[in-house]
Amino acid sequence: MQLQALLDEVAQKSQGRLVMTVKGDVARDVTRFNTPEAAGATHISFLTNPAYAASFKTSQAGVMVMREKDATALFGDDVPAHTTLLLCDNPYAFFAYAGQVFAKVTVAAGIDPRAVVEAGAEVDPSATIEALAIVKAGAKVGARTVVKSGAVVGERATVGDDCLIYSNVVIERDCVVGNRCIFQPGSVIGADGFGFAPFQGEWVKIEQVGRVIIGDDVEIGANTTVDRGALGDTVIGKGTKLDNQIQIGHNDQIGEHCVMAACVGIAGSTSVGSHTMVGGAAMINGHINIPAKSQVGPASVITGWGEEPAAKTSFFPMMDAKQFPVLAAMLTRLPQMRKDLKALERELARLKDAQANA
């Protein structure tokens, strides 16, 4: 495709928020991104880390994307004749948006005869339902949405426009999905929350009658589960990105534009404010309110939070395997050591008082 066409699509995807200025030929063809060392005449290279700037001086990339200050430091006013220079306030964001354009695959609209679309389901004529996918009664699938093989859209579930639902995804009954969402293989939206009432030594299942509500532009990773609410709804705000193998408990409220790395677990009825970042394998207890713009470190165990946004980490650093049993033994003794320390403090205070009164 021509560079100008690519720039037009990037501008549209970024809603005009990405500032781009071109120095050179915008009619040239571009085919892909590549490293500055390996790039050729139809390739694009982008610079985000000044440590790699030197490689751009000899690069044969047809298009170089960088911030204006980096371009000035590299070339001054002497831009190499073989390249088009694209000055951009955020080259990494340009790479992300442009990569989506290059990766876009057009699929034929329609319902494969081997798919199952039950009576009462509504599928937009521009949507794609692949072989062995199932759309249950009362479900709605929006324009240009793709439901791949083996995926299930449950009874009365609603899926918006331009969504991509990969193989073996399950979107359960009554759940609501916004526009432009991506569900990676094996993710489950709307499984029953983990709710049981203790009764005479047994556990009695509590029916989970809430839904999952997912905003626009959300991505759900492979084998991630978002449980439906027990009474109210579990909510994932617009623009939030969840990595693989994450557990979101029933009635959780996840804000807008949050990002969570793999293997995070969040117990039920917890609120995570917008623009919060959660590191991989973090465990967050239930009934906690984490303010917007907070950060949770990887492998952290969060049992409470204050009123203000903060960056918190709680895991132990790595140590020699022979040292760990010693530390573990010390940890079990901490309560008694605390009592002993308090007793010593009281005895020391008593001796100081006695000496002062002598």
Q: Which residues are catalytic?
A: 250
Residue in the structure block whose two tokens are 């299930």: 152
286 contacts 270 by C-beta, under 8 angstroms: yes
Q: What string of H, E and C letters represents the secondary structure of 148-164? A: CCCCEECCCCEECCCCE
Q: Token pair for residue 187?
A: 């993710």
* CB within 8 Å of 191: residues ≥ 6 apart: 170, 172, 225, 226, 227, 228
Work out whether the CA dihedral 55, 56, 59, 61 comes out positive or negative: positive
Q: How many CB atoms lie within 10 A of CB 241?
A: 16
Q: Token pair for residue 134?
A: 């199932």
* CB within 8 Å of 133: residues ≥ 6 apart: 112, 115, 116, 147, 148, 149, 150, 151, 152, 153
